[in-house]
Amino acid sequence: MLENERRQLEGQFFHRLVHQHWLGLPLDKLSRMANTPTLNQWWENYLSYDFKLKDFVTFPELNLTSQIGKHKLIAKYDLVAIGHDKVLIFDWKTFQKRPRDEWLAVRYQTRVYRSLLIQSGGCLKNNEPINPEQVEMIYWLANFPNQPIRFPYSTTQFVRDWQHLELMITRIDEQDEFPLTADEKKCNYCLYRSFCDRGISAAIIEDEYEPLFEMSELTLDQIPEIEF
């Protein structure tokens, strides 16, 4: 197995273990599944970290959707935690190097996840609207467990982000064709790169170019179910 594929598969499996843990599956059985040195280290780091969610209602692997223009915007959250006056978004990352805060701040994941939660997350609070100032997105880094990257939110940021998403979707709808990017490095992580003659084999992922969404050709269906 290529190093790139191994890293992606371990990352997917770690997400699955954490998901099963938040669903309440037995810890001892889950721990036995962290059966590679990397997975075991990530798992131990995760179990040792206090997420301080005792008084929160948690929603692991949550899907939210909202209409935006003629399209539906969909996001899958690793964990959303609803408290009395806080709404926290957690995203598990397995970066080998700690990314720059400013790089994560402008990523579409950060902007989409927070703004979409404002648009559609009221269903998690008995249909009460969520105030942007209540929202915070937290990237928890499996290799840097005590250095989470946190992004509070505001009404100003929400308006800016949603307007930007509407504008980008409008621009995409208006395009008749899409010229290829000049930065071919980005093509290394695209499933459709062969259609553009930009290569066939996946490159080794560098942390700064981690794709916005999981784009591995190894799907979760290929990871065995945990047996009890």
Tally of CA atoms within 13 A in the half-sphere of 199 that contains its CB:
11
Residue 189 lies in a domain: no
Q: Is residue 115 one of the residues assigned to a domain?
A: yes
* Domain around 79: 56-175
152 occurs within a structural domain: yes
Domain contains 202: no
Reported as a single tens digit per residue, the pLDDT across 93-105 is: 999 999 999 999 9
Question: Number of structural domains, the chain?
Answer: 1
Task: Tell me if 187 is assigned to some domain.
Answer: no
CATH code at position 149: 3.40.1350
pLDDT digits (tens, 9 = 90+) for 157-212: 999 999 999 999 999 888 888 788 888 888 876 778 888 888 765 554 444 444 44
pLDDT at site 7: 84
Q: Establish if 192 belongs to a structural domain.
A: no
Q: Is residue 193 part of a domain?
A: no
Pair of tokens at residue 133: 């100032």
pTM, two decimals, is 0.82
Tokens found for residue 84: 């009395």
> Would you say residue 154 lies in a domain?
yes
179 versus 151: which is more confidently predicted?
A: 151
106-148 per-position pLDDT tens digit = 999 999 999 999 999 999 999 999 999 999 999 999 999 999 9
